[in-house]
Amino acid sequence: MLIDCHGHFTTAPAALGRWRERQIKAFEESGARVSPDELHIEDDEIRAAITQGQLKLQNERGVDVALFSPGAGKMAHHHGDEQTSLAWSQVSNDLIARVCGLFPGRFVGVCQLPQSPGDALASSVRNSVAELERCVSELGFVGCLLNPDPSDGYWQSPPLTDKVYYPLYEKMAELDVPAMLHVAMSRNPALQGTCAHYLAGDTAVFMQLCQSDLFTDFPTLKFIIPHGGGAVPYHWGRYRGVMQDQGRPPLDELVLNNVFFDTCVYHKRGMELLVDVIPARNVLFASEMIGAVRGIDPETGHRFDDTKHLLDSVDTLTDEDRRLIEGGNALRVYPRLKNTLEGSRS
């Protein structure tokens, strides 16, 4: 089974974006709230968006299941207050649940969390606990997206290892669900979103984890760092050396029981580096389609985000390595996924 652990509803019907624009404008102008009841999207609109978009490419590439979440960049946690973020997360997650209900066994939900920066951070974490509980217990989701920079490009919040986040980690441990550590948009003009802010975020959050004792406090906690881990695999020796200089445990012991990386790497040599440096048991297949890069690579004739083609071209992997990367690891890292898939077939 080929499981894509990183998919976003980037082709959502336009009504969703229009509702979000009204929500932001109303709050900014007068502090008013826009009701989720004002959003109207028909099932046929969802079917058209999925069948002509993600599902079409999944079928072409042999992807059996996609773990599906709201558009990451559009989480935009800096807008409004914690109630703004909560309503936006609920609307977005409910739409993902509808996708999963219309295409059982092909899409499984991963939720957006209602984070907020600044003084609202602590209360937004409490809201995130409640929304995670709702999405897992009521909607059948198997994980969440956790933004390490809810200020969206300015890194004004404490690291994810700060104890302000511990109530969320307690709930994640209780529910046995992982988080993909995925930044949202960048409103910082010095940081382009998908190639600067995303990859810098992946790199920065890994170092936060290395410098903490988070996994001593939460030994079962699991995180997925997307986009191949940003610069992490390329600079693995630097991380090992710095941890050694600081008297920290060896890097493998420090993080690899809890931290995993996906294959959203869009060229062969990058994919080869990823699976050479990071053990196969810590790599999850992913493509992020239809997402950051949508064009065709003139050097290969394949779309940049056709990561299955790239993974197939790597000749150093054993059959067992491929089994783990293509689905075995996802079933282990997302423990609720197996039962969800079995339930969709019954």
3-state SS string for 98-113: HHHHHCCCCEEEEECC
Q: Is 240 exposed, middle or buried (0-12, 13-18, 19+ CB in 10 A)?
A: middle
> Which three-class secondary structure state does DSSP give residue 222?
coil
DSSP secondary structure code for residue 248 in this structure:
P
Residue in the structure block whose two tokens are 């409640």: 130
Q: With the C-alpha atoms ordered 102, 8, 23, 94, is the resulting torsion angle positive or negative? A: positive
Residue 288 among the catalytic residues? yes
Paired tokens of 226: 């997307």
Long-range pairs for 210-215: beta carbons < 8 A, 24 or more residues apart:
210/239, 210/242, 210/243, 210/248, 210/251, 210/254, 210/255, 211/161, 211/246, 211/248, 212/159, 212/161, 214/161, 214/169, 215/254, 215/255, 215/257, 215/258
* Beta pairing partners, 69: 8
Paired tokens of 149: 């920079």
Q: Tell me which H or E stretch contains 114.
A: none
DSSP secondary structure code for residue 249 in this structure:
P
Q: Given the residues 288, 320, 326, 342, select the one marked as catalytic.
A: 288
Q: Which residues are catalytic?
A: 288
